[in-house]
Amino acid sequence: MFFNHKWSLRILISFCLILTSVSSVIAQEEILKQLDEIAIVDQKVMMPMRDGIRLATDIYRPKTTEKVPIIFSRTPYNFNSWGDGEQRTRTAQRAYEVVKRGYAYVVQNERGRYYSEGEWDILGTPLTDGYDAFSWMKDQDWSNGRIGTLGCSSTAEWQMAVAALDHPSHAAMVPQSYGAGVGRVGEFFEQGNWYRGGVEQLLFFAWLYSVEHDKFKPRIPEGASQEDLIRISRFYDLAPENPYVDMSEALKHLPIKDMLQNMNGKREVFDKMVVRKPNDADWYNGGLYHDTMDFGVPSFWFASWYDVSISPNLALFNHVRENAKDPVVRDNQYMVIAPVLHCSYTRATENTIVGERSVGDARLNYDEQIYAWFDLWLKGEQNNFKERTPRVQYYTMGSNKWQSSETWPPSNAEMKTYFLQSGGKANSLFGDGKLKINKPGKEDNADTFSYDPMNPVASYGGNVCCTGNAVKGGSFDQQIMETRNDILVYTTDPLKEGVEVTGSIEATLYVSSDARDTDFTMKLIDVYPDGSAYNLDETIQRVRYRDGFEKEVFMEKGKVYKVDLSPMSTSNYFKKGHRIRIEISSSNFPRFARNLNTGGNNFDEKEGVVAENKVHHSNKHPSQIRIPIVK
């Protein structure tokens, strides 16, 4: 019999996909059946906002005559429970878990998303939508008037700015991987992850292509009844399927302001964001939280070492603890920091692999702690949460264990300074760059490298999310990257005893260039005795913003400038025999947009110039990193 291997493989793959789809539908039907047994389900409730716009809302509440507290999630993502799909099954599963614990679960789409009316803008502006939703829910005859907010990523990021409004019913919140909701906090001007150190993070370029609905999308007629909306939602999902884009190629397009146009993506939101500079007034008119706002809600924060904005996340936690006007709010901030990627808390296993590095058994009883937190604030249970739960729970990689502290960073962390030194040849893994505790001498053996924006250093692992196939996040052996001559490598001698580094890693570089403007990047790395070099965190600074993000100050050829990079953060145990390493370059692409070195706007330029960049290290120009060592 003739046997075609190619067609047999296709048939097998198709059969497996059918089985997977059938299995998914069965699982979804089962969870919906279980939910129906314990919950009153009220879908496509069109919740009115103060301007008359109605937001599509699904409500799941226990079959009881008693008033119940509410756990509320607002999201730009699809939660229609009809049809198959992981997101929809996850929504039903979450509803079941919430209801069986005695809460109502309310999930709502932001304005302009799916069945919600109005026009969408990132982070769901106006902020009054959150406030109005709280007011509507507290007035329902089944509500006890206490509301907690819960969500990860885009389902978390709107919570901080709304918490600043201090609605009396917003009793507690659990934001997870929430960095894109943080505008400005302390020295961080990331403006919702759009920037790092004044450099565009390209994650939003990819994310906006994948999620934004077109202005010509089908729309439900105004005033449609709940009955009609439930009926048609069984047939029309309103979920667009954007054509596949190879982001590893698409993010190379120049100028970057035309990147979404080049992908045939929707552009209105993107077009107005891509031209904003770090301190543009428009960043302060939307849904971002800034440190000029008060904060009114007890919070249980979840962050992760390999998320895109771990340092601003930690800075916000400390800001609220130190600056909230209400002492009860200040005293009721708790945090968990896990060794995982963006929104991957529950994916920790007995052998958690982040990228290609094993960080051991990183599991934690997340749900137990979250519901104990809500029980305390929404039900008023005296459950000893505060006595049983450390203020900060953080996972130390290397020693691979959960630890706790009353403060962040731990009070017994002391900063230790390492100075960059070399004979002027720190280029690549094979150079002579060293990290030493003794200060350099008078001689300045500056390290020089050529930065060509048309041949940037590729992002390899890292603290990322949402870039499609362009960047794979996590910890990877950097040795192959370190063979490039446009990467400067500085390493300690092998450690004579193990060292725990926990907290913020600060860096000051003294740099010069023949370009008007350029960038400097840094990575922190754990080097194993066999030479494997695993990245821990990374940062970048655009030199024109070295004196602050309110102004641009360009470079003069050959002049040396002091540049403080925005801090990195980690908790990592460098074992005996390991080495601490930093890499310095001028690009980390496509995590960060390339600086074309011209001193122009950068967002509207197509041609770059090669920059000859130098890192100086001498008694006069003591380039250094400051590392928190736990005693």
Mean predicted confidence (pLDDT) in 184-194? 95
Query: Between residues 139 and 21, which one has the greater pLDDT?
Result: 139
Through-space distance between the first and last CA atoms of the chain, rounded to whole angstroms: 73
Task: Encode 112-164 in three state secondary structure.
Answer: CCCCCCCCCCHHHCCCHHHHHHHHHHHCCCCEEEEEEEEEEHHHCCCHHHHHC
Strands 413-421 and 434-436, by their bridges, are antiparallel
Distance CA 56, CA 43 (A): 8
* Model pLDDT, residue 13: 46
**pLDDT tens, position by position, 357-393:** 999 999 999 999 999 999 999 999 999 999 999 999 9
Would you say residue 505 lies in a domain?
A: yes
What are the tokens at 530? 């066999």
- Rounded Cα–Cα distance for residues 518 and 612 (Å): 10
Instruction: Tell whether 375 is covered by a domain.
Output: no
177 is a domain residue: no
Before 590, cis peptide (omega within 30)?
yes
Q: Residues 27-30: contacts with CB within 8 Å, 24+ apart? A: 27/89, 28/81, 28/84, 28/88, 28/89, 28/92
What's the average model confidence in pLDDT over 253-261? 97
Confidence (pLDDT) at 124:
65
Using an 8 Å Cβ cutoff, are 407 and 392 in contact?
Answer: yes
SS3 call for 598 = coil
Q: How long a stretch of residues is the chain?
A: 631
Task: State how far the Cα of 115 lies from the Cα of 134, in Å rounded to an integer.
Answer: 20
**Domain of residue 557, CATH code:** 2.60.120.260
Q: Is 27 a member of any domain?
A: yes
Contacts of range 35-44, beta carbons closer than 8 Å, 24 or more positions apart: 35/60, 35/92, 35/95, 35/96, 35/99, 38/62, 38/63, 38/96, 38/99, 38/100, 39/63, 39/95, 39/96, 39/99, 43/81, 43/230, 43/233, 44/115, 44/226, 44/229, 44/230, 44/233
Query: Which residue, of 102, 121, 155, is where some domain finishes?
Result: 155
Contacts of 439 (CB under 8 A, 6+ apart): 419, 619, 622
- pLDDT for position 319: 98
Q: pLDDT per residue over 477-525, tens digit each?
A: 999 999 999 999 999 999 999 999 999 999 999 999 999 999 999 999 9
Q: State the amino acid at position 347 in one-letter form.
A: R
Tell me the pTM. Answer: 0.94
- ∠ CA 502-568-307, nearest 5°, is 95
In 263-392, where does DSSP find H-type helix? 268-274, 310-323, 327-330, 366-374, 385-388
Q: Are strands 447-451 and 413-421 parallel, antiparallel or unpaired?
A: unpaired
Select from 155, 185, 217 the last residue of a domain.
Answer: 155
> Final residue of a domain: which of 113, 133, 155?
155
What CATH number is given to the structural domain containing 32? 3.40.50.1820
- Averaged pLDDT for residues 424-438: 98
Residue 614 lies in a domain: yes
Over the range 607-626, which residues count as b (16 or more CB within 10 Å of their CB) and which as e? ebbebbbbbbbbeebbbbbe
Residue 528 included in any domain: yes
Q: Which residues 6+ apart lie within 8 Å of 150 measured at CB?
A: 71, 72, 73, 173, 174, 370, 374
- What is 511-531 written as a DSSP string? EEESSSS-EEEEEEEEE-TTS
Residue 31, pLDDT > 60, answer yes
Average pLDDT, the chain: 93
Task: Say which residue, 222 or 573, is predicted with more confidence.
Answer: 573
User: Is the bond preceding 339 in cis, omega lying within 30 degrees of 0?
Assistant: no
Any domain includes 199: no
d(CA 316, CA 335): 11
Can you give the pLDDT at residue 626? 98
How many C-beta atoms lie closer than 10 Å to residue 338's C-beta? 29
Residue 86's pLDDT band (cuts 50, 70, 90)? low
Share of the chain above pLDDT 70, in %: 94
For 437, list phi and psi in degrees, rounded to 5. -85, -20
Beta partners for residue 564, in sequence order:
508
Q: What domain count does the chain have? A: 2
Distance of CA 543 to the CA centre of its chain: 24
126-154: average pLDDT = 96
What are the tens digits of pLDDT across the range 164-187?
999 999 999 999 999 999 999 999
Q: Is the pLDDT of residue 14 over 50?
A: no
The predicted structure's pLDDT at residue 268: 87
| pLDDT value of residue 85 | 55
Q: Which of 85-89, 375-379, 407-411, 577-581 has the lowest mean pLDDT?
A: 85-89
Residue 32 — pLDDT band, cuts 50, 70, 90?
confident
What pLDDT was estimated at residue 590? 98
Residue-number span of the structural domain to which 52 is assigned: 1-155
Task: Give 26-95 as a DSSP string.
Answer: HHHHHHHHHHHHHEEEEEEEEEEPTTS-EEEEEEEEES-SS-EEEEEEEESS----SS--HHHHHHHHHH
**What are 396's strand-pairing partners?**
401
Q: How many helices (H) and strands (E) does the chain have?
A: 13, 27
